[in-house]
Amino acid sequence: MKRARYASIFIVEAILLASSLSTATLYNPIRDIDKVTQYFETSLSNSEDMIKEIELSKILGTPLFKGFSTIEKKSNIISEDIDNIFNSYIFDGGALDRILGLVTKELKSAKNSLYDTDSLDYAPTGLIIKFKQGGTNEKFVFHGIKEKISKLLPSTTDFSIEPVFKDNSLPLTNTFKIIFPESIEDPEKIITAFKNNPAIEYIEPDYVYMLTSTYPNDPYFSYQWALNQSNDHDIDAPEAWDYERGNGSITVAVIDTGVDYYHPDLSSNIWINTNETPGNGVDDDGNGYVDDVRGWNFVTNDNLPFDDSGHGTHCAGIIGAVGNNGIGVSGVCWNCSIMPVKCFIGVGTTGIGFASTIARGIVYAADNGADVISMSFGAYADYQLIKDAIEHAYNKGVVLVAAAGNDDTLLRMYPAAYPEVIAVAATNQTDGRAYFSNWGSWIDVAAPGDGIYSTASYTNYGYKDGTSMACAYASGLAALIKSQNDSLSNEAIRTLLRSGAESVSSNSYKYIGVGRINANDSLHMIADVVARLDDGLDDSIVSGNVTIFGTASGNNFSSYTVYYGSGIYPSSWNIISSSSSPVENGVLAIWNTLSLPDGTYTIKLSVAGDNSYSYTAFAVLTLNNYASKLHVGGSGAGNFSSIQEAIYNAGYGDTIYVHPGMYSESIVVDRSVTIVGEDRDSTIVTQSFSTSFPPLPTFYVSH
């Protein structure tokens, strides 16, 4: 039954996540099972790269298919598993044919995939375990742990334990991966047995992440609206190139499906490890990787990080395609170096990768000289292994940039939502939020991500959509800034990206950061100034006297002022406090809110530099001094057009009255509120991701 349960998750994801980019339709997994069945029947029968039925059964973990024509209708299992979707995976793009790629193409051969087994289901084949510092040794790992697992799983005897990282420095040295030859049916049994052990810091499955793309003489430059267009909803790249075009000493690591390093628009910008002698079979630089001349392939553990999918190459072209070379397209940073770090295997037009593989890639990039790491992938859960790798890179001064996700939700995507990372949403050609882009107060900036033309594998070019592309634009700008002044800290560069951003066309409550990045403005205000509000302010619910923490400092610091404004993009600002004394991770101001009405507010920190420029940081929060009543579909004050918008503006303990009508929307409830159908007979609230069929008209949610 356990194996069937994991298999059903595969189907539910295929149905629900399909709407993120390719269609506005969201299938009901029970009502529309026949539509999904028909889709799979047609797609499989027409596939040119068919796999055998027995292989398909092994991949799914249960014989869900009869031959290649019929899907068993396991709607009861599907209904049970909907609540697990957001603990699983996030697809960059989300079209059903991309999930079908899991079945029909890339994952047929375990030897050429990121999996260490001959079959695939969604029970993990590996567990990550990290020991507390002090007292852990090789003998303990390979004997004590192995013995206990053998007792827990007596039928599983052939497994191994290996270090996750080659780096021997703390805190990475005590992290290991337990590798099983086959998928284990009950990983929770092992996790439960070890999680309270005083010698263990954490134990978790090896989770899966998905990928979330001077006028030059390049002939396809006119296709690149994000760099330059007549209505100026671009990043002002030509103006910036008059000032800076990039430096080959600045390296951007692309954690992705690899990079086509033979591509004529990329080959001369590919990072070269000059401390390694090509082809001699020796680890010349002693970094633990033999002949890693142009990066590393962590999927197959070799020195060939070639992109056979196209996603990584597309992102690499946005960042650093050679500019003004008479061919193809231009990258944001014409001359920076691209370090290919392959952590994902291509699946259709996206990719899939394990947490352990990704963590290794991040650490490799940081340890081998990357100035910027571009991460166009994510998951909706906070996994400690990835967090450890992120902190390692951040502490080395690396600028970390990640995609916000493509599901039009305020759910936090990781690694983008980590405080060390610059989270990037996507805009369209009218400077509005791209309809698929995730949103929320945790996002730093936005960048173009809709209809983006760039390089593709095997010397090709093509269009892609997604926050993956937006992430690449922000990464390219970070490299351009670093090229102009390589002494700037990662926080100073974050400040410059946000401070140079232009306001976006936002007529909704869906916040996508301070604005769309502008390369020209950010470059011209380069200075050593840091403006940052404490991450605890973002999405917080406050009352009374609010202490505002943050940083206002830098060698070019002059003074700072803290403001508040009503809403997520205020039209006017009110001063809270100002000072000419720098602050480093301390108290910036005390905000007395008792005279203000409850609702959504934005805090703005403006730091004046000694160069006449101002550098900004923002935080969106909810003021909740009094229990309030909000309305959806009604009229007058306190009325909102959608349930999600009302929740976003509600405080703890507030009541939301939903007026007569039918509301079909995906909602995320992240605070304790009461949601009431104002008229029980005529108000129906349907939750797209609810396990209740049909949903109740009146319900109470506690968080």
Q: Tell me the CATH number at 592.
A: 2.70.50.50
Q: 19 and 34 share a domain?
A: yes
Cα distances from 531 to residues 143, 456, 494, 569, in angstroms, run 50, 37, 9, 18
Active site residue: 92, 167, 234, 256, which one? 256
Compare 359 and 633 and report the one with higher pLDDT. Answer: 359
pLDDT at 107 > cutoff 60: no
Least confident of 100-104, 261-265, 633-637: 100-104
Provide the CATH number for the domain around residue 461: 3.40.50.200
Q: 319 and 250 share a domain?
A: yes
In a domain, 92, yes or no: yes
Average pLDDT, the chain: 77
Provide the pLDDT for residue 578. Answer: 97
Confidence of residue 185 (pLDDT cuts 50, 70, 90): low
Provide the pLDDT for residue 170. Answer: 60
Q: 383 and 442 share a domain?
A: yes
Least confident of 110-119, 350-359, 579-588, 600-609: 110-119
Tell which residue, 596, 569, 256, 314, has the closest CA to residue 463.
314
Give the pLDDT mean for 256-285.
96
Contact present, 65 and 74 (Cβ < 8 Å)? no
Q: 443 and 385 share a domain?
A: yes
Confidence of residue 278 (pLDDT cuts 50, 70, 90): very high
SS (H, E, C) 433-487: ECCCCCCCCCCCEEEECCCEEEEECCCEEEEECCHHHHHHHHHHHHHHHHHHCCC
Compare 378 and 91 and report the one with higher pLDDT. Answer: 378
In a domain, 671, yes or no: yes
Q: 72 and 153 share a domain?
A: no
This prediction's pTM: 0.73
Contact present, 673 and 701 (Cβ < 8 Å)? yes
Q: 320 and 436 share a domain?
A: yes
Distance CA 131, CA 161 (A): 13
Compare 243 and 576 and report the one with higher pLDDT. Answer: 576
In a domain, 299, yes or no: yes
pLDDT at 611 > cutoff 50: yes
Q: 361 and 245 share a domain?
A: yes
In a domain, 119, yes or no: no
In a domain, 22, yes or no: yes
Confidence of residue 307 (pLDDT cuts 50, 70, 90): very high
Contact present, 564 and 573 (Cβ < 8 Å)? yes
What total of structural domains would you count in the chain?
5
Active site residue 311: yes
Active site residue: 330, 468, 483, 606, which one? 468
The amino acid sitting at 206 is D
Provide the pLDDT for residue 347. Answer: 77
Q: 458 and 499 share a domain?
A: yes
Compare 466 and 197 and report the one with higher pLDDT. Answer: 466
Report CA 438 to chain centroid distance, whole Å: 10
Least confident of 67-76, 170-179, 576-585, 693-702: 67-76
pLDDT digit string (tens) for 379-420?
988 899 999 999 999 999 999 999 999 999 989 999 999 999
Give the pLDDT mean for 77-101.
31
Provide the pLDDT for residue 58. Answer: 32
In a domain, 283, yes or no: no
Provide the pLDDT for residue 466. Answer: 92
For the purposes of burial, counting CB atoms within 10 Å of the CB of 198, is it exposed (0-12), middle (13-18) or buried (19 or more)?
exposed
Confidence of residue 137 (pLDDT cuts 50, 70, 90): low
Distance CA 95, CA 12 (A): 13
Provide the pLDDT for residue 29. Answer: 32
DSSP string covering 595-622: TSPSEEEEEEEEEEETTS-EEEEEEEEE
Least confident of 34-38, 159-163, 470-474: 34-38
pLDDT digit string (tens) for 203-213?
888 878 877 64
Domain that holds residue 611: 530-623
Provide the pLDDT for residue 216. Answer: 65
CA angle 618, 621, 627 (to 5 degrees): 160
Cα radius of gyration rounded to whole Å, the chain = 25
Provide the pLDDT for residue 141. Answer: 52
Q: 493 and 403 share a domain?
A: yes
Confidence of residue 649 (pLDDT cuts 50, 70, 90): confident
Tell whether the torsion through CA atoms of 690, 691, 696 and 700 is positive or negative: negative
In a domain, 281, yes or no: no
Which of 52, 86, 112 lies at the terminal end of a domain, its last residue? 112
Burial of 66-89, coded b for 16+ CB within 10 Å and e otherwise, reads eebeebeebbebbbebbeebbebb
CB within 8 Å of 595: residues ≥ 6 apart? none
The amino acid sitting at 210 is M
Provide the pLDDT for residue 400. Answer: 99
155-159, 532-536, 642-646, range with greatest mean pLDDT: 532-536
Q: 567 and 643 share a domain?
A: no
Active site residue: 233, 263, 311, 392, which one? 311
Tokens of 35: 């539509």
Tell which residue, 347, 409, 397, 404, has the closest CA to residue 373.
397
pLDDT at 9 > cutoff 50: no
Distance CA 372, CA 124 (A): 31
Compare 619 and 236 and report the one with higher pLDDT. Answer: 619
Q: Number of C-alpha atoms within 13 angstroms, CB side, residue 437?
A: 36
Confidence of residue 663 (pLDDT cuts 50, 70, 90): confident
Which of 524, 555, 577 lies at the terminal end of a domain, its last residue? 524
